[in-house]
Amino acid sequence: MPNTAYVYVPAPSRRNLEIGLEQGFWGWRTPTLDRAGARDAVKSLAVGDFLVLAYKGPNCRVEAGQWSHAQLKRVVVTQVTRPYFTSEEGVWPDDVYPERIGLDVLDEESEVPGTALGADAMEALRLSANKQGAALLAAGFTGVAQFATTPADAPAPGGPDSIEHSGMESAVAQVLVRREQAKLRRAMLNGATVATCALCGRTLPARLIRAAHIKRRSEANHAERRLMANIMPACLLGCDELFEHGHVVVDDHGVVQHRPRATDTPDLWDAAKSLQGRIVSDFGPRAKFFAWHREHSADQ
């Protein structure tokens, strides 16, 4: 079972938080981890464990339990991609923060009530705030699961509140990623009930349109994942999968090109070939992401 570490990020460190998320790292000053048990907590985090970063809460100089119903300006749930390491490479502008872990952002929310994480998680964050952002370790992932099952401004497709706290951590991570995708989809549709596929040009009910990352989500950094220029409407009648697996690409003029494969069946060849020559609307802002897809789709 994975562990979860909770880290409080104070208001003056907002820029550091953005940089860390964009670069996929979090780091601590050595004196911060010199305190009792702090370094051991960070070193115990393995790939797949969770790290919750909470930004800007109320006064932390209060008694235990007083944060259970506090509100946090921002909560970011991440998963560890690289365990504890040290580096002097410059990442943040104000200090080195040499003791680090690698992370991947799963989801984030603003104006989060304490009840979304639970009393134990909020107490860990209060203690972290009192320890200059040291990581407070908790066994299991109850707080993350509770966060995942708390409805955001609108539920993600698939029902994020359907997961149980006793489920596998991979399922919790998938729910959080779906929540991110749901936010992008809402922004893309902007309330419309129909949408036009960027590849085939068919106008379809919104339920048949996916907000598809052009540059794979797994390869995009935190900022790129949130850019609408990296999102396109792709229909579920075949275009989303044809693009995802590299059977079609978009050239540097915004024209769809069929990319045949030796393993294509005749029907697959016909489906991809039918998109050949179509012009992608709103190509300009997306050009660099389509270029990435052309270069990297051969292995998809």
pLDDT tens-digit series, residues 69-97: 999 999 999 999 999 999 999 999 999 99
pLDDT at 20: 96
What's the rounded Cα separation, in Å, for the pair 32 and 146? 29
**Lowest mean pLDDT, pick from 49-58, 157-166, 224-233:** 157-166
Question: Is residue 184 within 8 Å of residue 155, measured between CB atoms?
Answer: no
Predicted TM-score (pTM) of this structure: 0.82
What are the boundaries of each domain within the chain?
3-149, 192-299
**What's the rounded mean pLDDT across residues 41-67?**
95
Asked if pLDDT for residue 53 goes beyond 50, the answer is: yes
| Cβ-based burial of 174 (10 A; exposed 0-12, middle 13-18, buried ≥19) | middle
Separation of first and last alpha carbons in the chain: 31
Query: What's the residue count for the chain?
Result: 300
* CATH 1.10.3470, applies to 3-149: no
pLDDT at 2: 82
Question: Is residue 24 within 8 Å of residue 81, measured between CB atoms?
Answer: yes
What's the rounded Cα separation, in Å, for the pair 256 and 251? 6
- C-alpha pair distances (Å), 151 with each of 4, 62, 161, 243: 21, 29, 7, 31
Asked if pLDDT for residue 221 goes beyond 70, the answer is: yes
pLDDT at 164: 41
Share of the chain above pLDDT 90, in %: 80
